[in-house]
Structure 1
């Protein structure tokens, strides 16, 4: 009798338990994606700061005349 009651109770709780696991998985995935996004933006900002166009060089004729 105990086994049957236990199985019935487990079947009744399954939708709630399943939803809790799914919600936890979604939060973990969302956190991981947010971390990757933040890292990607940080790298993009760093690369953008490193690849700024250098100041244009003056032609030799202009540089000599000042």
Structure 2
């Protein structure tokens, strides 16, 4: 398996999609409010994805704003 996590970061909320492998979503896409409780839940999902696949998934950010090379 080749797990990966995609993050689309916005000002008030972000969106997270985790994949076990190509075209194999792990859970549904999640809208993430920027609160400690919700971020702890996302962290738990990341740990579970790592447990399921035996690999730490790379995290891919959308290349915009502060994250864009330029």
TM normalised by structure 2 equals: 0.28
Between structures 1 and 2, the one with greater helix share: 1
Bigger relative contact order, structure 1 or 2, given CA contacts below 8 A and separation 6+? 2
